[in-house]
Amino acid sequence: MYRVHGMTGSGNCHKVRQILELTNQPYEWVEVDLLAGATRTPEFLAMNPNGKVPVLEFDDGRTLPESNAILCYLAEGTAWLPEDRFARAQVLQWLFFEQYSHEPAIAVARFIKVFLPEDHPRRAELPGLVERGNRVLAVMDRHLAERAFFVGNVPTVADIALHDYTHRAADGGFDLDAFPHVQAWLARLLANGFREMTA
C-alpha cells in the first residue's frame, strides 16, 4: 500500500489522491503540517530534499516527490496515461504547462489570498498574477473549445493535473465565467468521477 505525505487544501497533493481514487489503488494519507515546519525536518528532507509535499512512499521505503511525476507513475498501464508515443508526449506537454505557467500564477494567487494575512507584502503580486493567470485560462479555453479533454477522447493525467487549481481559481480572484469551455470541462470531469478539493 502506498503512503501519501500531503497537505489537505493543496492542489498538488489532491492530484495524488485523485489518481489513486480514480484507479482504486489503496493508500494511507499522512497529513504534513507545513506551517509547523514538518517539511524541514531531516526525516522529511530524506524523502524529498526539496522539502515539499506531496511525496509518495512505497512499502519498500522508496520515495517519489513531484506531483506530476507521481501521477505518471501511478497511471502507468492505465488509460490515464496513453501508450501511444505522441499522445503521451502531449500529456507531458500539458503537465509541463501546468507546472511552468498555470500553477505559478493561479495556485500562487490562491495561496496569497487564502493563506497570507491581509497586510502581507506579497499581496502586491496579485494584480500581475491575475493577469498572467487569465492568459493561462484563455489558452485552456481555446484548447477546450474543440475538445472534451486535454488529450484524446478520454480524461488523462493532464486533466487531473489541471483540474484542482482551476476549479479553485476563484479563491485567487479569477472569474471562470469568462471561460465557458473551461467551465464545461470542469463539469465533464465531475461527471467522470473527479472529486473537487474541498479545503
Burial readout 111-127 (b: 16 or more C-beta within 10 A, e: otherwise): bbbeeeeeeeeeeeebe
CA dihedral 67, 39, 107, 163 (to 10 degrees): 30
| All cell numbers assigned to 41 | 525536518
Residue 18 touching ligand GSH (CB under 6 A): no
68-87: which residues touch ligand GSH (CB under 6 A)?
68
Contact region with ligand GSH (CB under 6 A), list: 50-58, 71-79, 122-130, 172-180: 50-58
Identify which of residues 54 and 82 has a Cβ nearer to ligand GSH in the complex: 54
CA dihedral 20, 26, 31, 34 (to 10 degrees): -40
Per CB under 6 A, which region of 66-74, 127-135, 176-184, 190-198 contacts ligand GSH?
Answer: 66-74
Among 39, 44, 97, 185, binds ligand GSH (CB under 6 A): 39
126 is an interface residue for ligand GSH by CB under 6 A: no
**What are the DSSP calls for 59-116, one per residue?**
TTS-EEESHHHHHHHHHTTSTTS-SSHHHHHHHHHHHHHIIIIIIIIIIHHHIIIIIS
Taking CB under 6 A as the criterion, the residue among 51, 104, 152, 173 binding ligand GSH is 51
Restricted to residues 90-109, the positions that interact with ligand GSH (CB under 6 A) are: 99
Closer residue to ligand GSH, CB minimum distance, 65 or 82: 65
Nearer to ligand GSH, 63 or 183 (CB): 63
Rounded distance, CA 196 to CA 189, Å?
10
Q: Which residues bind ligand GSH (CB under 6 A)?
A: 7, 10, 12, 34, 39, 51-54, 66-68, 99
